[in-house]
Amino acid sequence: MTHAVTFPSKADVAQHVIALCQTIHGNKTPPIAMDVSLTRTLAFDSLKLVQFFAGVEQLYPGIALEDWFVEHSADGRDTLDSAAAYMTRFLAPSS
């Protein structure tokens, strides 16, 4: 009997990322949407960004978002949707 290995979908990753952001942000905002920027919309400072990166690495060992952030933060493309898409690429099985 073989067991199929399942990989988290982008929707699953998105739910985890939103929950992480709500925890870091202190649940003081309305529901967080996937199109919000970590730095521009949520106004995450360096401490909150470190918490976010560490939280992602705890949820998904081996995934580091620092390179993604450097590439996407300057022009506001550091959205939760972009982060979830980036992470999903690394979680998917390689062909």
Query: What are the start-end ranges of the H helices in the chain?
Result: 10-25, 46-59, 66-72, 80-91
Q: Looking at the predicted structure, is the pLDDT value of residue 8 above 90?
A: no
Q: Alpha carbon of 21 to those of 5, 30, 83, 94, 95: distances in Å?
A: 28, 12, 12, 28, 31
Q: What is the pTM of this model?
A: 0.85
CB 10 within 8 A of CB 85: yes
Q: What is the pLDDT of residues 13-66, one digit of tens each?
A: 999 999 999 999 886 667 889 999 999 999 999 999 999 999 999 999 989 999
Task: Give the pLDDT score at 4.
Answer: 53
Task: Give the pLDDT score at 46.
Answer: 95
Task: Give the pLDDT score at 94.
Answer: 59
CB 76 within 8 A of CB 38: no
Cα–Cα distance, 50 to 46 (Å, whole number): 6
Domains and CATH numbers, the chain: 10-91 (1.10.1200)
